[in-house]
């Protein structure tokens, strides 16, 4: 049992509200509204469970020592609880701050965390990368009484569709909700939009007037089309540009710096650029379109819709072979349609089901070599259960079952916005992610799932609702033009670039068996990137006894 409680808060925009019976720390898209709901003397459980929260967290330290912590159901903000041996319970909104409170010898990593990192690049809450630190789950209320040691977590917040929206009126509905979210989140505040030139970030900029566009660039030839797309969007929007170039030759040093800043190894390769740019950019509020694909259509969902329609054909004896030799030889992208049809036949919790493959790209069989098959299967079940507890899924056939779950897994489990928000804490920025808010999520869920993610009448265009809205607001934008995923060429970096000698500087993680070295250490394989980020984190952060708190962190003690 612990005799002290410390709240260690890094968010530069958090509100502190003192009442006659405790102190609240609030952070979210509408912190003033949360503050208005705090009534002195009211029952704390009623306050927390009645929060009108869009993307928010709240922590309360009562004068009696009781801790309450809340995280809204779509929050990109985090709450971590660390049990420091022979020390206090530490509550933090930044993983690095929580980890810095623990002695090195108490920073142990579980097999579940290893499996999650390799499978999903992010542990499933309450699991984190270190066993002594727990993450508060989406939509949950944590209570802790240091006098008795009693600690309980309850799910108090779930997602429900905001009515039912017809497909033909959905773009207008999205417009109304997006307008309200941005107006309430960005009143009289100078912002920059993180513009890639894709549909999501360009659409957001049409609501931001003449705000500057933050464009991230690198001199890697493979990234040139991404920079060109951003430049074209800037020209169509006619807005000023704040461009930052990151040299490919410095990629490893920027990767190391970003791991140091975050304090955990979960990394999308764009996070490396984001950290480098945030270090150099002017302090302020940055708008980001992360999460739009998960609400309105990931690129691979088109293939699933086509495969579902063609499934009776593939079921006929011999026709799959004929398809591969005939149609697919003319249309190479169609080669895997029979495979996708078979993935749609699997139970949604199966690691090889389309629902599980849609948001994640790691090979489960490879991860099982590092952990074991039972752990891998249990983690896929766990993440499905995590989503199903928070959203009542629709019914409508196998395509709907797999497509909706896959998109919800992406919405809840992809933590890019969380990474960039915590980088913002380090560099003095605030991140606004409208597509990760409750209101836009509920708006998306109100559209029937059969047409939520892809268009109709044979086009099966992913993200067709956002494209329709963008076409109305910026007619010159080529919504039919494909755009890249914005990923960096890390495979080429590893084979002949700035990551060539990374495993000479950092030993591969100990959990990698020798049999995997040829395919994943000596050459680039499905889990190589995850092994690189873990190895760098282990040596620079996990085993660093001098790990420091984020500069500017506020500490409240009880």
Same domain for 34 and 133: yes
H or E, element range at 397: none
275 close to 216: Cβ distance less than 8 angstroms: no
Same domain for 471 and 398: no
Same domain for 79 and 35: yes
Same domain for 513 and 400: no
* Domain of residue 438, residue span: 169-296+433-488
Name every residue whose Cβ is closer than 8 Å to that of residue 438 and which is 6 or more positions away in sequence: 53, 54, 55, 72, 73, 74, 159
Same domain for 115 and 61: yes
In the block, residue with structure tokens 């996070």: 271
Angle CA 88–94–98, to nearest 5: 30
We report the CATH number of the domain holding residue 30 as 3.60.20.10
Q: Which of 444, 551, 418 is nearest to 71 (CA)?
A: 418
Identify the DSSP state of 454: B
Same domain for 187 and 68: no
Region 113-131 average pLDDT? 96
How many independent structural domains does the chain possess? Answer: 4
Q: Which of 280, 264, 275 is nearest to 425 (CA)?
A: 275
Same domain for 245 and 106: no
Residue 415, domain member (yes or no): no
Identify the DSSP state of 122: S
Residue 556, domain member (yes or no): no
Whether 334 shows a pLDDT value over 90: the answer reads: no
Q: Identify the pLDDT of residue 40.
A: 67
Same domain for 322 and 287: no
Same domain for 15 and 116: yes
Considering only CA atoms, give the Rg of the chain: 23
Residue 162, domain member (yes or no): no
Same domain for 475 and 524: no
517 close to 508: Cβ distance less than 8 angstroms: yes
We report the CATH number of the domain holding residue 216 as 3.40.50.620
Same domain for 141 and 22: yes
Same domain for 137 and 10: yes
Q: Identify the pLDDT of residue 276.
A: 96
Q: Identify the pLDDT of residue 483.
A: 63
Residue 278, domain member (yes or no): yes
Of the residues 457, 473, 488, the one at which a domain ends: 488
Of the residues 127, 157, 187, the one at which a domain ends: 157
pLDDT in tens, 512-544: 999 999 999 999 999 999 999 999 999 999 999
H or E, element range at 215: strand 213-218
Instruction: Report helix, strand or coil for 410.
Output: helix
Instruction: Report helix, strand or coil for 36.
Output: helix
Q: Which residue has the higher pLDDT, 402 or 311?
A: 402
Whether 41 shows a pLDDT value over 80: the answer reads: no
Residue 196, domain member (yes or no): yes
């Amino acid at each position: 049992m612990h005799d002290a409680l410390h709240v260690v808060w890094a968010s530069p925009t958090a509100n502190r509200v003192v009442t006659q019976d405790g102190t609240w720390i609030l952070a979210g898209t509408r912190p003033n509204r949360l503050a208005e709901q705090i009534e002195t003397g009211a029952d704390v459980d009623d306050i927390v469970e009645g929060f009108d929260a869009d993307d928010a967290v709240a922590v309360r330290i009562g004068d009696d020592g009781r801790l309450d912590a809340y995280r809204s159901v779509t929050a990109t903000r985090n709450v971590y609880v660390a049990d420091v041996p022979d020390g206090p319970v530490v509550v933090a909104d930044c993983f690095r701050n929580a980890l810095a409170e623990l002695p090195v010898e108490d920073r142990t990593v579980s097999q579940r965390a290893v499996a999650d990192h390799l499978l999903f690049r992010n542990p499933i809450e309450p699991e984190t990368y270190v066993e002594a630190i727990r993450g508060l789950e989406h939509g949950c209320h944590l209570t802790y009484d240091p006098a008795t040691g009693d600690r309980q977590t309850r799910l108090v917040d779930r997602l429900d569709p905001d009515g039912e929206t017809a497909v033909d009126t959905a773009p207008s509905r999205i417009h109304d909700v997006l307008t309200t979210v941005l107006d309430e989140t960005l009143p009289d505040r100078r912002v920059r939009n993180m513009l890639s030139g894709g549909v999501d970030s360009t659409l957001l900029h049409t609501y931001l007037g003449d705000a500057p566009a933050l464009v991230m660039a690198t001199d890697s030839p493979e990234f040139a089309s991404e920079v060109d797309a951003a430049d074209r969007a800037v020209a169509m929007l006619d807005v000023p540009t704040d461009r930052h170039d990151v040299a490919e030759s410095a990629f490893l040093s920027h990767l190391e710096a970003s791991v140091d800043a975050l304090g955990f190894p979960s990394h999308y390769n764009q996070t490396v650029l984001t950290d480098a740019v945030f270090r150099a950019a002017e302090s302020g509020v940055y708008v980001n379109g992360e999460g739009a694909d998960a609400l309105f259509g990931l690129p691979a969902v088109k293939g699933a819709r086509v495969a579902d329609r063609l499934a009776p054909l593939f079921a006929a004896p011999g026709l799959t072979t004929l398809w591969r030799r005939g149609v697919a030889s003319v249309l190479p992208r169609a080669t895997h349609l029979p495979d996708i049809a078979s993935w749609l036949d699997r139970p949604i919790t199966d690691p090889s089901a389309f629902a599980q493959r849609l948001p994640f790209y790691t090979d489960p069989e490879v991860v099982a070599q590092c952990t074991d098959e039972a752990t891998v299967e249990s983690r896929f079940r766990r993440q499905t259960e995590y989503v199903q507890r928070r959203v009542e899924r629709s019914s409508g056939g196998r395509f709907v079952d797999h497509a909706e779950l896959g998109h919800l897994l992406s919405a809840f489990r992809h933590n890019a916005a969380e990474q960039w928000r915590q980088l913002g804490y380090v560099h003095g920025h605030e991140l606004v992610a409208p597509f990760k808010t409750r209101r836009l999520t509920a708006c998306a869920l109100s559209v029937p799932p059969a047409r939520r993610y892809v268009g109709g009448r044979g086009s099966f265009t992913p993200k067709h609702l956002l494209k329709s809205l963008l076409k109305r607001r910026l007619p010159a934008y080529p919504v039919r033009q494909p755009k890249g995923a914005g990923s960096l060429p890390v495979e080429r970096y590893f084979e002949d670039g700035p990551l060539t000698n990374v495993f000479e500087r950092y030993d591969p993680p100990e959990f990698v068996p020798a049999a995997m070295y040829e395919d994943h250490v000596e050459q680039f394989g499905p889990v190589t990137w995850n092994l690189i980020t873990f190895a760098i984190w282990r040596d620079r952060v996990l085993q660093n006894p001098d790990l420091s708190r984020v500069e500017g962190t506020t500490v409240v003690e009880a």
